[in-house]
Structure 1
Amino acid sequence: MVAFLPVLSALFGWVYTLAWSLSFYPQPLLNWQRRSTSGTTADFPTINVVGFAAYFVSNLAFYYSPVVRSQYAARHNGLTPTVAFNDITFALHALVLSLITTSQYLLRPLWGFEPSPGTRPSRFVTGIIAGSALGVLITCLIVATTTTTPSSSVDPATDWCELDIVYAVGYVKLLVTLVKYSPQILANFRNKSTRGWSIWQILLDLIGGLLSLAQLGIDSYLQHDWSGVTGNPVKLALGNCSLVFDTIFIVQHYLLYRGKEDSDEEQRLLPEEDRRHRD
């Protein structure tokens, strides 16, 4: 059974990568089908761009940088990071799809979409982005000051080093995940409907979150050290956050606002005046 676990871990890794990757298609496709972004806000795709850019950079460092990997080993009992190649491919793909989706809001005329509210990021989201950039910059300055101190050599196990910059960039993704769903949850609450927000992206995201946590647990078990989990807090938190927020959206769609959303076909059949009133 133990010999099968590495195969199961790899399988879970690629399946959750596929599920999470596919989750980025339903929303832009729905927007394109409706020729509108009404019912959704620009906050979610915009902050996703920042989050997945940070996730991509941190995964690259963990996977390819000898310096970062050696510093990680010094701080985590000689273990290597649990980042896999599929994490990198997922992050890059997610970044590209997030950029495409964001363009549907920020560059609406190029897509030929109808005018709708919420096509610019809120001050809350722009503040999160600015604060994240400031946090990474401060970390870089601290590391630069530490590594240029001539009094003693830097010990990665206890001192500030390049690994902390990578962690800071990774924590940007964590912060984004903690806040990015909130504007859409509030929008659904105000509209008393999930119309315009694709539930398929949520269902695929839920599958990805479950399998991501399962893979992380298997990898740590195989290493006989749960610092494989604690040493990659971003991946752990991503899976848990996905489960919590996905559950909220599923409750909104299937329980709270069930039957309160019109299909696109119904909308097209309504007189223009009634359609404006419902929107």
Structure 2
Amino acid sequence: MFNIGLYWIPTVKKEYFLAHPLGVNPVLLNDVVFALHAVVATTITVTQCLIYYRGDQRISKTALVILSLTSVALVISLFVAVGGKITWLVYLQIFSYVKLVVTLIKYIPQAWMNFRRKSTDGWSIGNVLLDFTGGSLSILQMFLQSYNNNDWTTIFGDFTKFGLGLFSVLFDCLFIVQHYILYKATEGYANIESEQELLSED
């Protein structure tokens, strides 16, 4: 939402430049394509979860609570924006902060499960390596854009993009260490009684 708004919607772009009069638009076409691709990929994944066999796996109560609270906060923020108490730019920034928090949360269960099992057996490192590459290049792009335009506030103009890249790289480094160093020699994995609880809550 933030990328699309700041790239295509004139009102949002105007509000951004009022807040950063000497800055440049931090959202580029590749950011918009990335966001749209993520929406399509996530929609396909959710659809597969709904139509394919999933055993006794289901959305955890914790996830439902987080989803509910987030939805309520976004709806309230919408009414506040409509009432003119906050700008549409701020409203879209709230969406970006939600994305940042979700990204931070989503890595933790896998890192914890790897630690509990003392193994990464059955888990693909390929996606992590791709994620690490994308996150690193995303941060590099922001620094190059800031350098080329002599505007270092651009990084904080789209702080979520910087945060997403940073969190992704940090967690990817953790996963790489787990896979190639800590649990490299582990054959199979150690069963844990609460393993199912990591996937779903009864």
| TM-score range normalised by the length of the shorter chain | 0.7 to 0.9
1:229 equivalenced with 2:155 (yes/no): yes
Aligned residue runs from structure 1 range 104-115, under 5 A: 104-109=48-53, 115=55
Aligned equivalent of 2:127? 201
Aligned equivalent of 1:71? 15
Aligned equivalent of 2:42? 98
Q: In the aligned structure 2, how far is the partner of 1:256 from the partner of 1:86? A: 36
> Is the 2:24–2:149 contact (alpha carbons within 8 Å) kept by the matching residues of 1?
no
- Out of 143, 149, 154, the position equivalent to 2:81 is 143
* TM-score, length basis structure 2: 0.84
Aligned equivalent of 2:58? 120
Q: Which runs of 5+ in 2 are unaligned?
A: 189-202
* TM-score, length basis structure 1: 0.62
Aligned equivalent of 2:184? 258
> Is the 2:3–2:31 contact (alpha carbons within 8 Å) kept by the matching residues of 1?
yes
Q: In the aligned structure 1, how far is the partner of 2:48 from the partner of 2:181? A: 29
The 3 A distance-change label for structure 1 pair 130 and 81 is farther
Aligned residue runs from structure 1 range 44-55, under 5 A: none
Q: In the aligned structure 1, how far is the partner of 2:184 from the partner of 2:52? A: 29
Q: Which amino acid aligns with 1:213?
A: I
Q: Which amino acid aligns with 2:108?
A: S
Offset, 1:165: 0.8
> Is the 2:100–2:164 contact (alpha carbons within 8 Å) kept by the matching residues of 1?
yes
Aligned equivalent of 1:60? 4
The 3 A distance-change label for structure 1 pair 87 and 77 is same
- Out of 52, 65, 88, the position equivalent to 1:162 is 88
Offset, 1:108: 2.9
Q: Which amino acid aligns with 2:136?
A: L
Q: Which amino acid aligns with 2:138?
A: S
Offset, 1:168: 0.8
> Is the 2:81–2:88 contact (alpha carbons within 8 Å) kept by the matching residues of 1?
yes
Offset, 1:74: 0.1
Q: In the aligned structure 2, how far is the partner of 1:216 from the partner of 1:100? A: 30
> Is the 1:194–1:261 contact (alpha carbons within 8 Å) kept by the matching residues of 2?
no
Q: In the aligned structure 1, how far is the partner of 2:50 from the partner of 2:118? A: 25
Q: Which amino acid aligns with 2:25?
A: P
Q: Deviations over 1:177-225 (max 9, x none)?
A: 1111111112222322223321000001111111111100111112212
Q: Which runs of 5+ in 1 are unaligned?
A: 1-56, 148-159, 263-279
Larger radius of gyration: 1
Offset, 1:68: 0.1
1:240 equivalenced with 2:166 (yes/no): yes
1:134 equivalenced with 2:72 (yes/no): yes
Identical pairs, percent: 39
The 3 A distance-change label for structure 1 pair 101 and 253 is farther
Q: In the aligned structure 1, how far is the partner of 2:63 from the partner of 2:91? A: 22
For the aligned residue pairs, the C-alpha RMSD in angstroms reads 1.9
Aligned residue runs from structure 1 range 183-194, under 5 A: 183-194=109-120
